[in-house]
Amino acid sequence: MKNEKLNNWVREVTNLCQPDKIYWCDGSKKEYGHLMAQMVLEGRAIPLKKRPNSFLFRSDPSDVARVEARTFIATKTKEQIGPTNNWVYIDELKQTMTGLYKGCMKGRTMYVIPFSMGPAGSPMSKLAIEITDSPYVVCNMHIMTRVGGKVIDLLNNGGDFIQSLHSVGAPLEKGQKDVSWPCAPMEKKYISHFPDENSIWSFGSGYGGNALLGKKCLALRLASVIAKREGWMAEHMLILRLTSPEGRKYHIAAAFPSACGKTNLAMVQPTVPGWKSECIGDDIAWIKISPDGRLHAINPESGFFGVAPGTSYQSNPMAMDTLRENVIFTNCALTDDGDVWWEGMDGDKPSHTIDWKGRDWTPSSKETAAHANARFTAPASQCPIISPDWEKPEGLPIDIFIFGGRRSAVAPLVMEAFSWDHGVFLGATAASEPTAAILDNVGIRYDPFAMFPFCGYNMADYFQHWFDMGDKLKSKAPRIFYVNWFRKSHDGKWLWPGFGENSRALKWMCERVDGKAGAKKTSIGYLPNESDLDLRGLNIPQKNLRELLRVDAEVWKAEIPKMEEFLSQFGERLPKRLRNQFDELKSRLG
Ligand code: OXD
Ligand code: MN
């Protein structure tokens, strides 16, 4: 490569990690095929007879999810990253991790992956390099990001890049046999970010969010810091386009915590007659003010790294059709005829599978066949409703922001914020139940803007950034809504059918943007009257609808102490405008 900074860094990492070999990735199909073939030969990957060019991996049972407790952001002062992140002083963390990296790639190949988040060369994209000793990571990065090609040309022309270093943290001594999923014990895992120098150091885990460094580490944690500095936004949001029967296009970006149906909404099949939906992204949005004064968004990723259990033709047919070929599956079950299976798939349970730990499984087994966080990695281009404009370098103009979470009680089906500031308050106080447990007495976690695990700086400053963006956008700011698809009745039954029927709420939002639909003003926001929602063809009991759109002041008053406790952790740094919104809510509730 003709990039001096890159060559120097690769030399430095080589000296530290001491790999047996160095391999520069070009992102080609040939490279992918070669690495997969090698992993099949070594018994790490299982080719699936039923899905062309698709493979199943089983992780170590201890390495199955993101590890928030082992995720660190290193800055000079703790105040920079605030109370919601794990802080370590930069020099201290570097010293500890340098010790761990010493000789950590012995017996392994070190892969240098040049990649772009966002279409290569787009003014909204970022170039980066991931150095890793995991061929599984290389193949996943091929799907999730743009590897090689134009990225190499840009780097050869002196393009700057973000440095991200990853090791599974399992060196091999001479003659030592490798395990199929190498990783380090929990106390040696570090997912570290150095925002002052735009770098990521990850050690000890091979799992998605910890190891595919373009995703959560770069596109959210580091990018959120860069975005704040440069005046744009890096958000944990899906992006979709809705088209009305008249052909008017609306672009929607929606933030929900993990496991609240982001991928399902991103690929929604509208049931409202005449409305059409296209998918642009299912997890991350980079959003900037364009010369037209509006916010334009791109999906910086090029694949879906989705939760498999619960995905079915009933819940998400477009995802199922995306998964027919060229997919990497992790921790799913293997059927006897060479396919993957997971809990919640359509049809009867298979009478026998090999579970995610490699053991025989039958429906009478006590544990699930697939891990609850089993994943698929699939190219976005394979989604049947991917928008023809999903890779537009200048992004797409956002009309609507949606926030929400999973609440079996309290939050209504849908509401609109009174103003931008009120919308920021709704985003900042978004709350979700950790599980779909039955109502009442269930714990909730505040997950502001669904960014709790992903905001790379002080969350109070992040709230201020949202206010600042609103000030810049003025009348061109998107409208803000809050939704809850997960309300339950007192006997624990779903009040709302969800999935494609959520398009009815989306249609109301679009009509609000155009000033066509009515609403009633309540103490918590503008809610639709029943007659404002298009419910043609939907058969749900009247009493469900009434409950879904009811605002119970007493229930909301009971939320106030919890909100107060959550907001008070930010102390004096909490923006005054957020405090004002909170005070106004209290006085409206009386
Ligand atoms: C994800 C997550 O994997 O949010 O997208 O955890
Ligand atoms: Mn996510």
Give residue 440's pLDDT: 45
Work out which ligand 1 atom sits closest to the CA atom of 258: 4
For ligand 1, atom 6, which residue shows the shortest CA distance? 258
Backbone φ and ψ for 520, nearest 5 degrees, come out as -115, 145
* Spacing, Cα 258 to ligand 1 middle (Å): 5
Q: What is the DSSP letter of 267?
A: T
Q: How confident is the model at residue 108 (pLDDT cuts 50, 70, 90)?
A: very high
Nearest CA to 253 among 303, 300, 212?
A: 300
Work out which ligand 1 atom sits closest to the CA atom of 208: 3
Active-site residue among 139, 183, 217, 260?
260
Work out which ligand 1 atom sits closest to the CA atom of 450: 4
For ligand 1, atom 1, which residue shows the shortest CA distance? 258
Percent of the chain with pLDDT over 70: 99
Residue of 64, 283, 299, 331 to test ligand 1 pocket, by largest number of atoms within 8 Å of CB = 283
Token pair 């229930």 is found at 555
Residue 171 has pLDDT above 60, yes or no: yes
C-alpha dist (Å) from residue 531 to 93, 485, 517 = 58, 19, 9
- The domain 303-379 is placed in CATH, from the list 2.40.50.220, 2.170.8.10, 3.10.310.30, 1.10.287.3510, at 2.170.8.10
C-alpha dist (Å) from residue 84 to 313, 315, 398, 466, 574 = 37, 33, 28, 18, 13
Contact 332, 374 (CB under 8 A): yes
Contact 449, 563 (CB under 8 A): no
Euclidean distance between CA atoms 20 and 33, whole angstroms: 22
Contact 469, 233 (CB under 8 A): yes
Give residue 259's pLDDT: 78
Longest dimension (CA), the chain: 73
Between helices 459-473 and 576-589, what is the axis angle to 10°? 90
Beta strands in 433-525 (DSSP E): 445-446, 479-483, 520-521
Tokens of 32: 């992918």
Give the tens place of pLDDT for each residue, 389-398: 999 999 999 9
Those residues whose beta carbon sits under 5 angstroms from the ion ligand 2 are 283
Residue 438 has pLDDT above 60, yes or no: no
Q: How confident is the model at residue 437 (pLDDT cuts 50, 70, 90)?
A: very low
Please tell me which residue, 259 or 28, carries the higher pLDDT value.
Answer: 28
Instruction: Report the chain's mean pLDDT, rounded to a whole number.
Output: 96
Q: Ligand 1 pocket: which residues have CB below 6 Å?
A: 66, 209, 258, 283, 305
Euclidean distance between CA atoms 379 and 305, whole angstroms: 9
* Spacing, Cα 39 to ligand 2 middle (Å): 27
Give residue 442's pLDDT: 54
Residue 48 has pLDDT above 60, yes or no: yes
Q: How confident is the model at residue 343 (pLDDT cuts 50, 70, 90)?
A: very high
Give residue 236's pLDDT: 97
**182-209: average pLDDT:** 97
Q: What CATH fold (topology level) applies to the domain 4-48+67-231?
A: Phosphoenolpyruvate Carboxykinase; domain 1 (3.40.449)
The domain segmentation of the chain, as residue ranges, is 4-48+67-231, 235-302+391-589, 303-379
Contact 72, 193 (CB under 8 A): yes
Contact 236, 255 (CB under 8 A): yes
Euclidean distance between CA atoms 405 and 443, whole angstroms: 13
Work out which ligand 1 atom sits closest to the CA atom of 307: 3
Amino acid code (one letter) for 361: W
Length of the chain: 590
Between strands 71-75 and 190-194, the pairing is: parallel
Q: What CATH fold (topology level) applies to the domain 235-302+391-589?
A: Phosphoenolpyruvate Carboxykinase; domain 3 (3.90.228)
**463-486: average pLDDT:** 98
Nearest CA to 26 among 119, 138, 123?
A: 138
Euclidean distance between CA atoms 501 and 234, whole angstroms: 29
Give the tens place of pLDDT for each residue, 579-589: 999 999 999 99
Euclidean distance between CA atoms 46 and 41, whole angstroms: 9
Give residue 439's pLDDT: 38
Respond yes or no: is residue 260 known to be catalytic.
yes
* Spacing, Cα 6 to ligand 1 middle (Å): 30
* Spacing, Cα 547 to ligand 1 middle (Å): 31
**127-135: average pLDDT:** 98
Closest ligand by atom to 453 CA: 1
Euclidean distance between CA atoms 371 and 241, whole angstroms: 32
Closest ligand by atom to 211 CA: 1
Residue 524 φ/ψ region, left for φ over 0, alpha for ψ in the -120 to 50 degree band, beta for the rest: alpha
**523-539: average pLDDT:** 97
Beta strands in 195-348 (DSSP E): 199-203, 233-235, 237-243, 249-255, 276-281, 285-289, 295-298, 303-307, 328-330, 333-335, 340-341
Euclidean distance between CA atoms 164 and 129, whole angstroms: 6
Give residue 444's pLDDT: 85
